[in-house]
Amino acid sequence: MGTPLSPLGYPDEMVGPGQTLESVSAKIGDIVLKGQHPKSWWLGFGIAFALLMLFLMSVTWLLYRGVGIWGINIPVAWGFAIINFVWWIGIGHAGTFISAILLLVFQKWRNSINRFTEAMTLFAVACAGMFPLLHLGRPWVFYWIMPYPNTMGLWPQWRSPLVWDLFAVSTYLTVSLLFWYVGLIPDLATLRDRSTQRWQQVLFGIGALGWRGSAVHWQRYKMTYLLLAGLAAPLVLSVHSVVSFDFSVALTPGWHSTIFPPFFVAGAIYSGFAMVLNIIIPVRRIYGLQAFITARTLNNMANVMLVVGLIVTYGYATEAFMGWFSGDQYERYLIYNRAMGPYAWSYWALMLCNVVVPQALWSRRVRMNPVLLFIVALFINVGMWLERFTIVIISLHRDFVPARWGMYSPTFWDYATFAGTLGLFFTLLFLFIRFLPMISMTEVRELVEEGASKPDTGPELPPVFSQLTNRP
Amino acid sequence: MSVLPVNEAPAHAAQEMSLYGLTGMFASGDALLEATQKAYEAGYRQMDAYSPVPVDGLAEAMGRRGTPMPLIVLCGGVTGGFTGWFMQWFSATYDYPFNIGGRPFNSWPMFIPIIFELTVLFAAVSGVLGMLFLNGLPRYHHPIFAAQGIERATVDRFFLCIESADPRWGREETRRFLEHELHATDVVEVRR
């Protein structure tokens, strides 16, 4: 491939050669405005929509019969529902990490993928939010966990991590939605001004809120966007920390551990980046967006994935060491049970997916090959799901008293509900690709205006940084 | 269309009053920034620039100092944090004290997560609403949308609009200024 390389041998382009402000807006905007979608869009949408129908069916059956249709029991009261909740919400984290944290540290290669990943965040959080509600048994009274004036005179239990969860997840969803929409406003204005059909002009015009690109507006807009990023950055770290408190505040062996918050956050970013790669690699090929989502973007994402993967690996090592070092017989037994017990297959499959396979990312050839990168990302997604399986199931199925031991086996409805949320996620994603610009035209135009089509023009860094990073 | 070629425009006063301003087009953000600086130096104050990407220093070049956004977000955040703390403290110690495992009613360390989440929530919501409010958005219509070619302001062209409300405004003088001093292309009149 003729990709320009930086002095350290990494791909160097953020935007393909020869792109102009006009060509960026035309290429990305016309996917929405012209509405010519390949057969693979219809195929993918069809499959996703069928799965969404399966989800509706599973939920209907669940509401009719109750949570007994799932494989949960006592002692394993948290089955697939909690595994899937943690998995989905973790996937969402990559979107905020890419759009907020990478913005604050001037990683401009993020400009071409942040819209997509923010959308992914919203849809993943929507899927995640389903599970704790459905797991309640009586989902129609879920609002009892909220503080509101009620005839019972009750307040929520503020010391409970489940109440924290409600606040963390709903704040996260709201702030992600605001961040996403604020980013969309100038792009909707572009679509309004480029569209030739009346209904498009009206709809995008409403969405753009009358945006006209005024310099005074841009000044406030940029500041607000930065402030939102500054707010979203600690927020994203707090959300998975709070999710991890659901586990670590309990005294159950394997859960009661101070490493959980950072371990969960790293795992969330790990699976989220993997999901982003699993989506953008096919999309960039099908829609011919290689000029915007460049080899540099993929390479950098693979690097981030490798680093957080190593942090997660360190987490596994620490868990095993602390299990032994604690001297506590229950903790020691848990570690033994993970590796040698009835669910040992899940533990070793997890090690294969999350620790062994991702080591391939050390190879430049793998990072530069979209197909191989896609496969590695798929392994990581499976691995992160298995991680939550080992945490939830293995810790619960054998706790302190052997008389309370049990086994867990998921039923058809467990799998159907999980597959159903995949359907919900991908249905929303396909509709997003169809009706909204999947790459931020404004931010890619910024790259073009700053001359990113030419060799790298990152921010000026002190010499010591330019040696560490790939900036000449 | 709202654009009047100069030679056909009736030059009486009523027509003059109905003009919103004159826009000049530029090919790049740098050119727009330079033109805006020159216009400000020439004494023009009532003007605005329209661009498809944010141009650093453009609002400042028109004499705009900073924005109150950080202050608005700070106030929102403090309000949210205080709300979160008060809600938990009030309900846990006064309205519904409940002894759980002998913990103190005012167990404030356990209140921190919700205080933090509400701080972020209130700060973000007030930031976005504040930005939209100060920008006067959503807005149904604005005179600038009637300017010929302005639809490219969200795609690939940069515009400077000197408004007729400016004390130095003169229909012909301002046009000459835009064309000859700022070297704008496609100078067009914008009606109200």
Query: DSSP characters for B144-186?
Result: GGGSTTGGGGGTT-EEEEEETTSTT--HHHHHHIIIIIS--EE
Closest-CA residue to A101 (of A239, A242, A237): A237
* Complex confidence, ipTM: 0.88
User: Is there a contact between A212 and B131 if contact means CB atoms under 8 Å apart?
Assistant: no
User: Is there a contact between A159 and B110 if contact means CB atoms under 8 Å apart?
Assistant: yes
User: What is the distance between the alpha carbons of residues A350 and A356, in angstroms, rounded to a whole number?
Assistant: 9
- Whether A33 shows a pLDDT value over 60: the answer reads yes
pLDDT, mean over chain A: 88
Tell me which range, A20-29, A277-286, B55-64, B176-185, is most confidently predicted by mean pLDDT: A277-286
- Whether B1 shows a pLDDT value over 70: the answer reads no
User: What is the distance between the alpha carbons of residues B117 and A170, in angstroms, rounded to a whole number?
Assistant: 9
**The predicted structure's pLDDT at residue A8:** 66
- Whether A456 shows a pLDDT value over 80: the answer reads no
Residue with token string 């096919």: A282
Phi-psi region of A384 (alpha: psi -120 to 50; beta: other; left: phi over 0): alpha
Tell me the count of A-B CB pairs closer than 8 A. Answer: 183
Q: Does B154 touch chain A (CB under 8 A)?
A: yes
Contact B150, A214 (CB under 8 A): no
User: Is there a contact between A155 and B73 if contact means CB atoms under 8 Å apart?
Assistant: no
Q: pLDDT (tens digit, 9 = 90+) per residue, A47-105? A: 999 999 999 999 999 999 999 999 999 889 999 999 999 999 999 998 888 888 888 88
pLDDT, mean over chain B: 86
Lookup: tokens for B156: 């690939």
Contact A15, A294 (CB under 8 A): yes
The secondary element (H helix, E strand) that includes residue B22 is: strand B19-26
- Whether A1 shows a pLDDT value over 80: the answer reads no
Q: Which residues of B touch A108 (CB under 8 A)?
A: none
Q: Residues of B numbered 60-119 whose beta carbons fall under 8 angstroms of chain A's beta carbons: which are they?
A: 60, 62, 64, 67, 69-70, 73, 77, 87-88, 91-92, 95-96, 98, 100, 103, 107, 110-111, 113-114, 116-118
Q: Which residues of B touch A25 (CB under 8 A)?
A: 52, 155-156
Contact A223, B70 (CB under 8 A): yes
- Whether B41 shows a pLDDT value over 80: the answer reads yes
**The predicted structure's pLDDT at residue A2:** 55
DSSP class of B116 = H
Nearest-CA distance from B12 to chain A in Å?
A: 30
The secondary element (H helix, E strand) that includes residue B68 is: none
Sequence-separated (6 or more) residues with CB below 8 Å from residue B90: none
Contact A161, A242 (CB under 8 A): yes
Q: Which residues of B touch A161 (CB under 8 A)?
A: 113
Closest-CA residue to A276 (of A390, A373, A393): A373
Q: pLDDT (tens digit, 9 = 90+) per residue, B118-175? A: 999 999 999 999 999 999 888 888 888 888 888 888 888 899 998 888 888 888 888 8
Q: pLDDT (tens digit, 9 = 90+) per residue, A332-357? A: 999 999 999 999 999 999 999 999 99
Residue with token string 């409403």: A206
Q: Which residues of B touch A190 (CB under 8 A)?
A: 52, 154-155
Q: Determine how many CB atoms are found less than 10 A away from the CB of residue A178.
A: 20
Q: Span A172-190, mean pLDDT?
A: 93
Pairing of strands B47-50, B185-191: unpaired
**The predicted structure's pLDDT at residue B147:** 85
Sequence-separated (6 or more) residues with CB below 8 Å from residue A13: A3, A4, A294, A295, A296, A452
**The predicted structure's pLDDT at residue A9:** 66
Buried/exposed code over B43-80 (b: 16+ C-beta within 10 A; e: otherwise): ebeebbbbbbbbbeebbbbbeeeebebeebbeebbeeb
Phi, psi of B42 (to 5 degrees): -75, -5
- Whether A464 shows a pLDDT value over 80: the answer reads no
Q: Residues of B numbered 34-53 whose beta carbons fall under 8 angstroms of chain A's beta carbons: which are they?
A: 36, 48-53
Contact B52, B153 (CB under 8 A): yes
Nearest-CA distance from A43 to chain B in Å?
A: 33
Amino acid in position A124:
A
Q: pLDDT (tens digit, 9 = 90+) per residue, A307-331? A: 999 999 999 999 999 999 999 999 9
Q: Span A284-301, mean pLDDT?
A: 88
**The predicted structure's pLDDT at residue A296:** 87
**The predicted structure's pLDDT at residue A55:** 95
Q: Residues of A numbered 411-450 whose beta carbons fall under 8 angstroms of chain B's beta carbons: which are they?
A: 442, 445-446, 449
User: Is there a contact between A20 and B156 if contact means CB atoms under 8 Å apart?
Assistant: yes
**The predicted structure's pLDDT at residue B7:** 47
Residues composing chain A: 472
Q: What is the 3-state secondary structure (H, E, C) of chain A?
A: CCCCECCCCCECCCCCCCCCHHHHHHHHHHHHHCCCCCHHHHHHHHHHHHHHHHHHHHHHHHHHHCHHHCCCCCCCCCCHHHHHHHHHHHHHHHHHHHHHHHHHCCCHHHHHCHHHHHHHHHHHHHHHHHHHHHHCCCHHHHHHHCCCCCCCCCCCCCCCHHHHHHHHHHHHHHHHHHHHHHHHHHHHHHHHHHCCCHHHHHHHHHHHCCCCCEHHHHHHHHHHHHHHHHHHHHHHHHHHHHHHHHHHCCCCCCCCCCCHHHHHHHHHHHHHHHHHHHHHHHHHHHCCCCCCCCHHHHHHHHHHHHHHHHHHHHHHHHHHHHHHHCCCHHHHHHHHHHHHCCCHHHHHHHHHHHHHHHHHHHCHHHHHCHHHHHHHHHHHHHHHHHHHHHHHHHHHHCCCCHHHCCCCCCCHHHHHHHHHHHHHHHHHHHHHHHHCCCCCHHHHHHHHHCCCCCCCCCCCCCHHHHHHCCCC
